[in-house]
Amino acid sequence: MDTGCGRTPDAMRVEILCTGNELLDGSIVDSNSAWIEAELFKLGLEVAEKRVVPDDLEVITHAMQEIAARADFCITSGGLGPTPDDLTAEALARAAGVRLIEHAPTAERLRAWMESRGRTYGPSQSRQAQVPEGATVLRNEVGSAPHIQLTLGRCTFALLPGVPSEFQWLSERYVIPRIAERFAAERGGEHFAFTQLRCVGLWEADMAWAVRELPARHPGLRLGTRTAYPENHLKLRAAGATAALAASRLAAAVDDARERLGKAVYAVGDLSFAAATLAKLRAEGATAALAESLTGGLAASMLAEVPGASEVLLASYVAYTPAAKIQMLGLDPGLIEREGVVSEAVAREMALAARARAQATYGVSVTGWAGPDGGTERDPVGTFYAALATPAGVTVARHTAGRASRERVRKGAAWAALDLLRTATRA
């Protein structure tokens, strides 16, 4: 979803061209486009068009010629490696009507790199030193393929490797700054301020409806949404004649959005869900212990990925089977027999046991049916219970993911458990 002011007719046009059979046969997912689209959105730009083409010299060349006739910038992803099907540089040379020539500094660097590893510099590596005549070649400090820029007609082509770490490193240093500089000049110094609200426990459509009136209430505001199950992000970009005006407009819009979205907002900016949860507990001097069944320790692992997690996370009990729940957490076998291993009662006792055994402020548990087998008439596959034990008592929430994949059920359950921690109070 994208709302707000529309693109003006004379706005700078940026396109993306991705090459690779693997992008078309489902072997890999294109993450580079999503990443750079988000970075350009912060500048005030939206990508006008993205195209994915196979490893075919004629097809790539024709696509570049078409793009050159209408775009100001074209960012390419992929096709700069050492294999025969890496054709992006050759296609650009053909589209521009120039020769491929060896870029000596790149060739020397690749030769030295190969020799330092006891390997011979041969035809495959030398392909990466072949660039269109007249191109600007910039060194890649995190990989072997160089960054190539060449202007064809009105369009500047920025050729980038498909490896995400290299794509991002080169984009941040060479591509985004150049686009930002030119865009700022064309827009007469208009400034932009950007942030995002990260939400959990709220459907994307509900989030979009809740903030639909914001662009009309806040001048120069543009909104966008992004879903990345089980969280959703609201992107906000404000424009102003000065940086201060853009920032003040953004701040007002953020306050308005937070009021409308309530406790679903777990962070403003780039803070992860786990980091936000830990920060909240750390601020109140609280600790936590987890008891997990169907998630197999996933929730605790999310917390442990954040530096300093040990200040909050005291213990994690992965009690996957009924026997483990009895042995590790001391649950009553009769309770499990009467209520079922996936039940409100078992989730409650697991949370209480985790809190008591670790002597933590909070105890959190999760138990459920991840599928594809299992389930009962009362609690079919996709059902899970998450419980929170506090000094004041226990809260249990029942969730139903339906016939979602096993991975999706487990991920949703881990997030639900941590969300109980995030919103916990001692009272």
Give the per-residue pLDDT at 241: 92
Give the per-residue pLDDT at 1: 52
Of the candidates 390, 309, 332, which has an alpha carbon nearest to the alpha carbon of residue 356?
390
What pTM, to 2 d.p., does this model score? Answer: 0.81
Residue ranges of E strands in 201-230: 221-228
What are the chain's domains? 2-186 (3.40.980.10), 191-268 (3.30.70.2860), 273-422 (3.90.950.20)
For the record, the structure tokens of 140 come out as 């890649």
d(CA 201, CA 73) in angstroms, rounded, equals 38
Q: What residue ranges of the chain have pLDDT lower than 50?
A: 4-10
Give the per-residue pLDDT at 113: 86
DSSP letter at 128 equals G
Give the per-residue pLDDT at 2: 53
Give the per-residue pLDDT at 9: 36
Give the per-residue pLDDT at 108: 93
Give the per-residue pLDDT at 192: 92
Q: Please measure the distance between the N-terminal and C-terminal CA atoms of the chain and give it in whole angstroms.
A: 39
Residue 106 makes CB contacts below 8 A (sequence gap 6+) with: 128, 129, 131, 137, 139, 146
The dihedral through the CA atoms of 252, 256, 257, 262 has a sign that is positive
